Structure formats: structure tokens, C-alpha cells
Amino acid sequence: MIRLENLRKSFHYRGTVKHVARGVTINFPTGKSIALLGRNGAGKSTLLNMLAGAMAPDEGRIVIEGTVSWPVGFQGSFHRDLTGAQNTRFLARVYGIDTDEMTHFVEEFAELGNHFHQPVRSYSSGMRARLGFGCSMAIRFDWYLVDEVTAVGDASFKEKSAALFRDRMEHSSAVFVSHSMGDIRNVCDAAVVLENGSMRYYGNLEEGIAQHEKNMRKGRSA
């Protein structure tokens, strides 16, 4: 389970205050793949970073039972001057994973060819996303934080990524961010909707999507 307790987070931007969480208390149940829904700027990426421990809340706390991944769509953990293979081996040692086994898995999955043995600074954003997704899926986390990563690549690679993600979800939980309702319906079974610093959990995914779409229409008409 992930529990947010009286969580507060806001930013000051151009003389205004942007609220991500206004004293939010909410549970993310274990055993669910939870869609994180909200309009652009609602704070989805900020929340993922707080769940990963990369950003601190202003007040309150986050309690997580089990291990949690870094945000899968975020490749800031990679050393740009190391190759994809070297970065993979480094992460394997950090997380106590067999280095050869993880390197073989990531090289085969990411389909980077010879680029896997070249510095990450030479990668396109899509190649870095493939490497990041492969590394995160190679490590068995209790919670995966996923940000749009299954949208990377051609149709075949997207399907392979979605299939691997579904396999991991048989034994893990996830918080999943995507602008594609099709992707969300394929991999999620619940939702949390962010709106103006509030968060609400929906055990019924379709109810969560309906509320999110209502919020989007309201925003366009305002």
C-alpha cells in the first residue's frame, strides 16, 4: 500500500501559487495498476517524483509498503558518459541483481543494437526511454512508477512493452501516467484523479476516466 498523509505540495510560478496537493490523505491499494489522471500541469509528474523519493513534500508524509521503482519515463539516473551496458551493470549492482542476467535482459528487450555499447549521451530520447524501461522491468519492484513509457517505439515495440508490463503486474502494483485512454484501459484497473490540489481514488476505472474527462471539459469551457 501507498498512503499519503496530510500531503501538501505547491509551487510559486510568475506570482501565482500552483497547488499539487492541499492536505491530501489517500490510500493507493496494493495489487492494483492505478491510472494517475489529471490535466496538464495538475502535478502528475511531481507526485511520481515524490513517490520515488526524488522530491520532498512541503508537509505531510508518504508511507510505502515494499520497494518502489524510479519513475520509468525519467532517465536522469543514467550517466551520460557511460554506455547503456555500463549503466545497466551499475544499476544491477546498486539493486543487488545479477549483472550478466540483467544486462542480457535489457540488451535483448530494448533493441538498441550497437548503441547499447555506446555512451548514453548519443541516444535519442526514445532510446533513453527504451533503456530506462528495460532496466526498470529487469528489477522486481513491489511498485512501479510509469510515465508514458509504453508510447515509445513502433506498434510492435509498444505491444511488447505492454505485454511485459502486464506480466510484471501479476505480482506487483503500479502508478501509471498516460494521456492515452486506450493504454490506460489496457493496463489499469483503478484510478486516482488529480484536480486543483485534490486527489480522489476510484476503484472503478471507468468512473475515474469519466470524472477526468468531465474535469477536462470544464477546464476548456472556463
On whether both 208 and 195 belong to a single domain, the answer is: yes
On whether both 9 and 92 belong to a single domain, the answer is: no
In the predicted structure, residue 150 carries a pLDDT above the cut 60: no
- In a domain, residue 155? The reply is yes
* Torsion angle (degrees, nearest 10) of CA 94, 99, 102, 105: 150
Q: In DSSP terms, which residues pair with 71 in a beta bridge?
A: 145
On whether both 21 and 131 belong to a single domain, the answer is: no
A 10 A CB-CB count for 111 gives 16
CATH of residue 159's domain is: 3.40.50.300
On whether both 169 and 200 belong to a single domain, the answer is: yes
Average pLDDT (129-142) is 90
Residues 202 and 195: their CA atoms lie apart, in Å, by: 14
- Of 97, 122, 140, the last residue of a domain is 140
- Of 89, 118, 140, the last residue of a domain is 140
Task: Show the cell assigned to 93.
Answer: 549492482
- In a domain, residue 87? The reply is yes
Angle between helices 84-95 and 99-110 (to 10 degrees): 140
pLDDT level of residue 161 (50, 70, 90 thresholds): confident
> What domain range is 162 assigned to?
2-67+141-221
167-217 per-position pLDDT tens digit: 998 999 999 998 889 889 988 999 999 999 999 999 999 999 999 999 998
On whether both 135 and 43 belong to a single domain, the answer is: no
- In a domain, residue 107? The reply is yes
In the predicted model, what is the mean pLDDT of the chain?
90
What is the 3-class SS of the chain, one letter each residue? CEEEEEEEEEEEECCEEEEEEEEEEEEECCCCEEEEECCCCCCHHHHHHHHHCCCCCCEEEEEECCCEEEECCCCCCCCCCCEHHHHHHHHHHHHCCCHHHHHHHHHHHHCCHHHHHCEHHHCCHHHHHHHHHHHHHHCCCCEEEEECHHHCCCHHHHHHHHHHHHHHCCCCEEEEECCCHHHHHHHCCEEEEEECCEEEEECCHHHHHHHHHHHHHHHHHC
- In a domain, residue 73? The reply is no
**Range in 5-14, 73-82, 147-156, 185-194 with the lowest mean pLDDT:** 147-156
**In the chain, % of residues over pLDDT 70:** 93
What is the tally of structural domains in the chain?
Answer: 2
Distances (CA, A) of 20 to 168, 179, 189: 29, 18, 23
- Of 99, 123, 140, the last residue of a domain is 140
Q: Which residues contact 141 (CB under 8 A, 6 or more apart)?
A: 66, 67, 68, 69, 172
